A = this chain, B = another copy of it.
């Protein structure tokens, strides 16, 4: 499990073996099965999760009972109810497993200790958060002025190879379109490409 997070970290910072051991000591493995729920609204959120294997989704259920998918997370992504995690408030999101998953979790407290003891992790998380911020902004811009075909292509670029792993109705939900519209869109794009 450690090899994948080691590779992920080393893309941005170099660690001594002592720093690496310390970092690994803070990560706790979590294994869940497809359809298991990781976080529910109201939960206390002590941890954020690095995805070693599998796929999860974060979603809200609105007053009408409709589900809205905000984010998928696949290998090398971090997922949590970040607002609850960073601000120490109860969760407002659901996070569940689209597939069986292997995760590594780190608590807020351990992360703060890590920043103090190995300050170069500030650099690592600054870069990850810059990317997360930019992809969120893309999602807003996408929703504001792109048509559904463009939004679908953005989705495929953000989550390479996820298409075979996530049911159609969930992708349609993420895109804010009906499942029938997604099928039509796919047929159209396949025709254009072939």
Residues of A within 8 A of B (CB): 60, 62-63, 66, 68, 70, 82-83, 86-87, 92, 115, 119-120, 122-123, 125-126, 129-130, 132-134, 136-141, 143-145, 176
Are A123 and B115 in contact, with the CB atoms below 8 A?
Answer: yes
- Copies, count: 2
A70 proximity list for chain B (CB < 8 A) = 137, 140-141, 144
Q: When A63-B145, A68-B145, A122-B126 are in contact, do A140 and B138 touch as well, CB less than 8 Å?
A: no
Q: In the complex, how many angstroms separate the beta carbon of A183 from the nearest chain B beta carbon? A: 23
Asked whether B145 lies within 8 Å of A60 as measured between CB atoms, the reply is yes
Contacts of A130 in B (CB 8 A): 82, 86, 129
Partner of A136, one of B60, B66, B123, B133: B133
Cα A165 to Cα B82 in complex, Å, equals 31
